[in-house]
A and B are shown apart, each in its own frame.
Chain A
Amino acid sequence: MSEPLLRLSGLTRRFGGLTALEAVDFAIGPGEILGLIGPNGAGKTVCFHLISGVLKPTAGEIHLEGRRIDGLPPHRIARLGIGRTFQIVKPFARLSALENVIASQGIERYGSLARIWSSWTNARERERARRRLAEAGLAEVAPRPAGVLPLGHLRRLEIARALAAARKLLLLDESFSGLRHEEIVPLETLVRRIRAAGVSVLLIEHNMRVAMGLCDRLVVLDHGRKIAEGPAAEVRRNPAVIEAYLGRRHAADAA
C-alpha cells in the first residue's frame, strides 16, 4: 500500500482507570473497504469516536492524508472529508428525510459566515438530495419526517446524510445491524457503489457474513488491543481471532 488515506498510530484512550483502546495502529488505503471487528466492548465504537473527533485520544495520533487530525472538533473533521453514521441512529427527527440530506449538503458553507445566508430551498439542492435518497433506496419516503421512519430506513438515511461529508472516508457504525436479509443486500450494493466512487469505507460490523463478504481487509480488536489484521480469509483462520471471537460467535452463526 502506498500513502494511506487514514493512519492511526499508537492510538490510546482511557476512561479513568479503564483502557478502552490501547496503542492501536492501522491504516486505510484509498478506495479500500476496511472492516473493524471484535467482540462487544472491544473498543470499536471508541475508535470511531476518536477518528470523528467526538472523543479525544489519551495518546497516539491520527493522520488524514498526512495531516494530523486528532484533537480537532467533530465539525472540522467532517469538513475535511470524513462522514460517519451512528450505531444508535441520530436522525434530525422533525425534519423530513429530504431535509436531513439537504442539511448535510451545506457542509461546504457552514464554515463561512458569509455563505450561510443563501437559500437551501431551491430545486438544485432538492434534486441533489433526492438523488442521494434514491441511491439509498429512500426516494419514496423523502417528504416524511425522519422521526417516524423505521430502523431500516433510518440506517440508510444515516448513510445518505453522511455522504456529503464523506468525500474521502465513510465510517459506518453497525449500519447492517437489526436489518433483515432483503435489506442487507441492497445496502451492500450501496457500500460497494460508494467505494467505486472513490470513497474509502471503514465499517464496524457484527454480522460476519457481511464483514467477510464486503471488506478487503479486517482489523480485529479485543479488549482495546489489535489482535489481528489482514485479508478476511486470513483473519478468519488466525488462531488468536478464533479464540477471542470467531470461535464462539462464528460457530454459533454458522450453526
Chain B
Amino acid sequence: MGGYLVTLATLISIQAIAACGLNVIVGYAGQISLGHAAFFGIGAYAAALLGTQAGFSFWTALPLAVALTAGVGLLLGAPSLRVREDFLAITTIGINFIVEAVFNNVEFFGGALGIGNIPRIRAFGGPVGGAGMLALCLGFLGLVVAACAGLVRCWAGLACFALREEETAAAGIGISPVRFKLLAFVIGSAMAGLGGALYAHYMRFIGAGDFAFPLSVSMLTMVVVGGIGTLWGPVLGAALIGLLPEVFRPLIDYRMLFYTTLLLLMIRFQPGGLLGDEGLARRLLRKAIPGGRR
C-alpha cells in the first residue's frame, strides 16, 4: 500500500473515531450536535500541549486529553442540553465558534500560529511510522466501535434510545432526560477527544482552523450518510466522505456545496442512511447474506 493511501486511511480512521462519538450523541440519544469539531479540537489541543509544553508521552497524555474533553463536554453540555432540537443545533454551532475563537486568539493555545513540533507517538522503543500509525488508529477505532456495540446493549444505551424516540414517555419510566442526554454527550465528546489526540500526534502541527464549523458539518454528514444510529454507519460514512474528494479531486473547492447536496439528497431519499433500516447498503447486504440482520 502506497504512502498516500496509508495517509488517507489513517485520517479516515481518525475521523471515524470522532464520527462514532457524534453518532452516540445524535444517533443514539437523538440530540443534534453541530459543534462536534470543537471537542475533536479540544482533544487535539490537550494532547498537543501536554506533548509539547508538559513533555508528556502520547500514552500519558491520551487518557488526560480524553478525560479533559469529556469534562468540557459535561460542562458545556449541562446548560446546552436543556434546550431542544433547533435551539440545540444553534447552541452547538455557537460552542464550535467559541472554542475555535479561543484557540485562535489565546496565546496559551499558540494563537493564530497553532501548535507545531508535536512529538511522534513512540511505541516499542521507537517512533510509530506510517503503517504503524494506521494500525494504531485502526486499533483505537476497533475499541470505539466495540464500546458503541457495548453501549447499545446496556441499560444506559436503551435509556438513550427511549429518550431519542419519546422524551416524555421516557421520563414516565424513570429516565432522567437531562442526565442521559448528558451521559451520551460526555461519551461522544470523549470519543471526539480520542480522535483529536490521535490527530494532533499524527499531523504534528495543528491550528484552530482544523477544528472549524465545516468539520462539524462534515462529521454530521458522515453519520447521516453512513446510517444514523447504526453501529458501522459512522465508519462507512467517514470512509465515503474521506474517499470521495480524493476520487473526485476537482470537487475539493466545492466541498461544502458537495456535502450539503449529499446531505439533502440523503435526507430526501435515504433518511436512515446507507446502513439504516431501508438503506441501500443494508438492502445490498441483505441480498448478499440472506437472513443476516446486521
Contacts and interface: CB of A to CB of B under 8 A. Distances in A.
Report the interface size class on chain B: 20 to 34
B171 A91 contact: no
B154 A92 contact: no
Given A92-B165, A102-B158, A120-B154, A110 B175 contact: yes
Interface in B154-175: 154-156, 158-159, 161-162, 165-166, 168-175
Interface centre among B171, B172, B175, B180 (most CB of A within 10 A): B172
Contacts of A95: 161-162, 165
B200 to A, nearest CB: 30
Interface in A72-116: 73-76, 78-79, 83-84, 86, 90-95, 99, 102-104, 106-111, 115-116
B172 A83 contact: yes
B210 to A, nearest CB: 34
Interface in A103-149: 103-104, 106-111, 115-121
Interface residues of A, number: 39
Contact of A107 (B153, B165, B174): B174
B158 A75 contact: no
A79 B174 contact: yes
A75 B155 contact: no
Contacts of A110: 155, 159, 173-176, 180
A112 to B, nearest CB: 10
B74 to A, nearest CB: 13
A45 B77 CA distance: 33
A165 interface: yes
B21 interface: no
B279 interface: no
B174 A106 contact: yes
Interface in B68-112: none
A106 B166 contact: no
A42 to B, nearest CB: 22
A243 to B, nearest CB: 35
List 6 tightest A-B contacts by C-beta distance, closest first: A92-B165, A107-B174, A74-B171, A90-B169, A116-B156, A104-B173
Interface of A: 52-54, 73-76, 78-79, 83-84, 86, 90-95, 99, 102-104, 106-111, 115-121, 161-162, 164-165
